Amino acid sequence: MNSSHFTLVIRGPTVNATRKRMYYTGGSLIPLLQLPGGDGLNVEWLVPDIQGSGKTATVTLPDTEGMVLLNTGLEGTVAENPVPIVRAPSGNILTLESCLQQLATHPRHWGVHLQIAEPAALRPSLTLLARLSSLGLLHSPVWVGAKISHGSFLVPGHVAGRDLLTAVAEVFPHVTVAPGWPEEVLGSGYREQLLTDMLELCQELWQPVSFQMPAMPPGHSTAGAITRLLASSPRATVTVEHSPAGGDYASVRAALLAARAVDRTRVYYRLPQGYRKDLLADVGRN
């Protein structure tokens, strides 16, 4: 039998045809990012830095694994066919498409959490996720969330809660939904009606949900709120978040330890690296 040789030329993005596409629907990050039965505190969260600008901009990531939080907006007007972008804390920007493609080719596994900062960016960002997923260029897990406006926490300028759920269902449903409350309504902590309205909004979802909760100072019943949210579904998780602008580690230490006491597997911690190290040290002592 004669053998023949040929060269296959692929136009467009390079795709690994043998790579298995993974749709993340399990609710927990642990099967992908740590050992089963592990601790949610071991999942590292990172807001990446962006070096350079324009088409040559690159995402800088450490040689570890975890979840990348991408603050997602739009560049350009509707008439100009606006493009989803990622804004870094430094002020540098990168197109969301370029960012996701860089993550897909990174040697370590980083899941993505799109935090939608502008309501108009929601559907274009989901459309991009769907397209990259069809090409095998999207790492899992994929989270999509926003500080939403709904019911007793109806705040103009934020993504409407119903709009978030409808867009996910219609455009790219293979995500973990990650809704949070606007900061403006949390002055008195997690009031009963805030929890009730959020749970009623999310009760019909088949996707896993991770409720985004800023850590509160003592007296605001963070642990009680976490307990109720986790009880809503065995696939529900909570992500406790905090930034230096909200106070130093000591101001939320009690809330973080209380959250950990509720559940170790289904509670994640999106914290500055220094705060996460402090919490790990406290956990090791207790």
Q: What are the angstrom distances between the C-alpha of 281 and each of 180, 274, 275, 277?
A: 28, 11, 10, 6
168: buried, middle or exposed (CB in 10 Å: 19+, 13-18, 0-12)? buried
Q: Is residue 274 part of a domain?
A: yes
Q: What percent of the chain clears pLDDT 90, i.e. is strictly above it? A: 64
pLDDT for 130-139, tens place per residue?
999 999 998 8
pLDDT at 79 over 90: no
Q: Is residue 22 part of a domain?
A: no
Rounded to an integer, what distance in angstroms lies between the CA atom of residue 111 and that of residue 141? 5
Higher pLDDT, 95 or 15: 95
pLDDT for 203-215, tens place per residue?
989 999 999 999 9
pLDDT at 43 over 70: yes
For range 12-35, the mean pLDDT: 47
Q: Is residue 143 part of a domain?
A: yes
Total number of domains constituting the chain: 1
Q: Is residue 16 part of a domain?
A: no
| Closest of 132, 141, 85 to residue 109, by C-alpha | 141
pLDDT given at position 12 = 36
Alpha carbon dihedral 149, 190, 111, 54, in 10-degree steps, equals 50
Rounded to an integer, what distance in angstroms lies between the CA atom of residue 255 and that of residue 91? 31
Q: How confident is the model at residue 167 (pLDDT cuts 50, 70, 90)?
A: very high
pLDDT given at position 148 = 98
pLDDT given at position 257 = 94
Lookup: tokens for 51: 């070096």
Q: Is residue 15 part of a domain?
A: no
Q: At 68, which CATH number?
A: 3.20.20
Q: Is residue 54 part of a domain?
A: yes
Q: Is residue 9 part of a domain?
A: no
pLDDT at 23 over 70: no
Q: Where are the alpha helices (DSSP H) in 135-160?
A: none
Rounded to an integer, what distance in angstroms lies between the CA atom of residue 196 and that of residue 210? 15
Q: Is residue 12 part of a domain?
A: no
Q: How confident is the model at residue 15 (pLDDT cuts 50, 70, 90)?
A: very low
pLDDT at 202 over 80: yes
Q: Which domain holds residue 205?
A: 30-285
Give Cα 122 distance to the centre of its chain. 14
Secondary structure class of 148 (helix, strand, coil): strand
| Closest of 150, 128, 280, 253 to residue 203, by C-alpha | 150
